[in-house]
Amino acid sequence: MIHFPRTSLARELVDALSGDISLSDAPNGLFLAAPRRTGKSTFLRFDLCPELDRRGALPIYVDLWSDKGRDPAELITGAIRDAAVKTMGLGQKLKKSMKGKVAAMGVGVSFDPDAIGRRDGLSLPEGLVRLHEVAKRPICLIVDEAQHALTTKGGANAMSALKSARDQMNGPGSVALMLVMSGSDRDKLLRLVNSNAAPFFGSHISRMPLLGLPYVEHVTAEVRRTYPELGKVSAEELLTPFELFGARPQFFVDAINEAIRDAKSGRSFDETVLSLAKNAEEMAYEQMEATYMALPGLERAILWAMLESGGGFRPYDAKALAFYRKKTGKAVTAAQTQAALARLREREGPLVWKSARGEYAIEDAAMARWFEALRDLKRWPPSS
Ligand SMILES: Nc1ncnc2c1ncn2[C@@H]1O[C@H](COP(=O)(O)OP(=O)(O)O)[C@@H](O)[C@H]1O
Ligand SMILES: [Mg+2]
């Protein structure tokens, strides 16, 4: 399926980032949350980066999930080094072709990109300042799945360094470093902004808009064009299944393809897509229920407490321990809780996430939606 461009959203965000909108806090950093697979990375890479480039900024994109085996700090530093190499590489080419103008381009400020982030080299803020001098344009660093930085000490330090770079490089009316942090989970992203010790204390997190009717119209138009034999295919009809798929393009497009195959044997296209969407939601919830029910009692009680706390979870306080005791019928110690939390994190398909500072959150935000759905139906807790 071809890319659906989100140009106006990109334009709006760049306006906000560059300080063109008074009262917007975006020049201090833009924090965007939206569930997994809803198109964040695609938007950041294929809409936001090109728009930044068009508007004269230097975009640097790094996805902290791109290699979970590497320290997030290394990934961030690596992306900045790569951008410096690329920027100076271009500078070199210009140097050859524009001999007379070299001086004006400030060749004297070149530096060794490899020194960025090395102990005996340049700190992250120093590296960014130098890169800005060489590039002669504002830098926009986009950190995708930024919450992952907090899972290591190095990553957390890198975040603080970015904040300090921002403070050094930006002043009233001039923005030399823009920061965009995105994440699949608002709760985890909150750890970057919600306490005195958090690197971006005071910033707030925006919901990144989900794809909606315009995207569905775009897909519908393509289906109509490619399969005119399907007859009437309406975007309005397809919007409901798209939303049932959690506004996730991949699942939606898979269902469309299946419905196209089925339509050849006479089934209604719209109805097939809708029933596939309903099945998918039901199956996802059944899967979660099965996972939950298969957990040992204490793990289940802890997860319940986390789901119910909706973000401010304190695993070891008296209230939590009393809750576990009530649910499991046994006295529970902090040490037992800690061990159970470790098991929840270390299992194949982790259910719990932990920051380097010892804060916990539900790993998959979809589980919170499942919990809320059951609670709304007065079906919580599930029974086997
Ligand atoms: N604007 C778009 N147009 C078409 N497909 C999209 C668009 N945005 C996302 N997708 C598709 O949706 C899937 C998930 O997108 P991705 O950007 O990886 O989501 P996220 O980063 O939120 O997990 C990918 O297969 C991608 O191709
Ligand atoms: Mg992504």
pLDDT of residue 195: 79
State how far the Cα of 49 lies from the Cα of 340, in Å rounded to an integer.
42
Atom of ligand 1 nearest to the CA of 47: 1
Q: How does residue 97 score in pLDDT terms, banded at 50, 70 and 90?
A: low
Atom of ligand 1 nearest to the CA of 184: 22
How close is the Cα of 41 to the center of ligand 2, in Å?
4
State how far the Cα of 361 lies from the Cα of 355, in Å rounded to an integer.
9
- For residue 331, the tally of other CB atoms under 10 A from its CB is 10
Higher pLDDT, 136 or 205: 136
pLDDT of residue 183: 94
Q: Is the pLDDT of residue 384 over 80?
A: no
| Mean pLDDT (whole number) for 137-143 | 97
Among all bound ligands, the one having the nearest atom to the CA of 148 is 2
For ligand 1, atom 8, the nearest C-alpha belongs to 39
DSSP result, 275-328? HHHHHHHHHHHHHHHHHHHTS-HHHHHHHHHHHHHTT---TTSHHHHHHHHHHH
How close is the Cα of 318 to the center of ligand 1, in Å?
43
192, 146 Cβ separation under 8 angstroms: yes
pLDDT of residue 369: 85
What is the signed CA dihedral for 89, 93, 99, 103, rounded to 10 degrees?
A: -20
**pLDDT tens digit sequence for 169-204:** 998 888 999 999 999 888 788 889 887 888 898 888
pLDDT of residue 109: 60
Q: Give Cβ neighbours of residue 122 (< 8 Å, ≥ 6 apart).
A: 111, 115, 116, 130
Q: Is the pLDDT of residue 104 over 60?
A: no
For ligand 1, atom 15, the nearest C-alpha belongs to 39
Q: How does residue 94 score in pLDDT terms, banded at 50, 70 and 90?
A: low
Question: Ligand 1 pocket: which residues have CB below 6 Å?
Answer: 1, 3-4, 6, 36-42, 249-250
Q: CB under 8 Å, gap of 24 or more: what pairs does 18-26 form? A: 18/55, 18/57, 18/138, 18/175, 18/178, 19/173, 19/175, 25/203, 25/204, 26/178
**pLDDT tens digit sequence for 275-314:** 999 999 899 999 999 999 999 999 999 999 999 998 789 9
pLDDT of residue 172: 84
| Mean model confidence pLDDT for the chain | 90
Q: Which of 180, 186, 152 is nearest to 36 (CA)?
A: 186
Name which of 39-53, 61-75, 139-153, 180-194 the model is least confident about: 180-194
- For residue 348, the tally of other CB atoms under 10 A from its CB is 4
For ligand 1, atom 25, the nearest C-alpha belongs to 250
Q: How does residue 9 score in pLDDT terms, banded at 50, 70 and 90?
A: very high
Name which of 103-117, 153-167, 302-316, 351-365 the model is least confident about: 103-117
pLDDT of residue 51: 98
Among all bound ligands, the one having the nearest atom to the CA of 145 is 2
Q: Is the pLDDT of residue 45 over 50?
A: yes
Give the length of the chain: 384
Q: How does residue 357 score in pLDDT terms, banded at 50, 70 and 90?
A: confident
237: left (phi over 0), alpha (psi -120 to 50) or beta: alpha
CATH tag, 7-207: 3.40.50.300
125, 165 Cβ separation under 8 angstroms: yes
How close is the Cα of 42 to the center of ligand 1, in Å?
5
Q: Is the pLDDT of residue 168 over 90?
A: yes
Three-class secondary structure of residue 248 per DSSP: coil
Tokens of 5: 């461009």
Pocket test for ligand 1, best of 6, 8, 37 (most atoms within 8 A of CB): 37
Q: Is the pLDDT of residue 61 over 90?
A: yes
pLDDT of residue 364: 82
Q: Give Cβ neighbours of residue 372 (< 8 Å, ≥ 6 apart).
A: none
* DSSP label of 211: P
For ligand 1, atom 12, the nearest C-alpha belongs to 249
How close is the Cα of 247 to the center of ligand 1, in Å?
10
Distances (CA, A) of 105 to 110, 135, 227: 11, 9, 54
For ligand 1, atom 24, the nearest C-alpha belongs to 250
Atom of ligand 1 nearest to the CA of 36: 23
How close is the Cα of 79 to the center of ligand 2, in Å?
16
Q: CB under 8 Å, gap of 24 or more: what pairs does 300-306 form? A: 300/327, 301/327, 301/328, 301/332, 302/337, 302/340, 302/341, 302/344, 302/352, 303/344, 303/351, 303/352, 303/362, 304/381, 306/352, 306/360, 306/361, 306/362
* DSSP label of 224: H
How close is the Cα of 60 to the center of ligand 2, in Å?
15
Atom of ligand 1 nearest to the CA of 34: 22
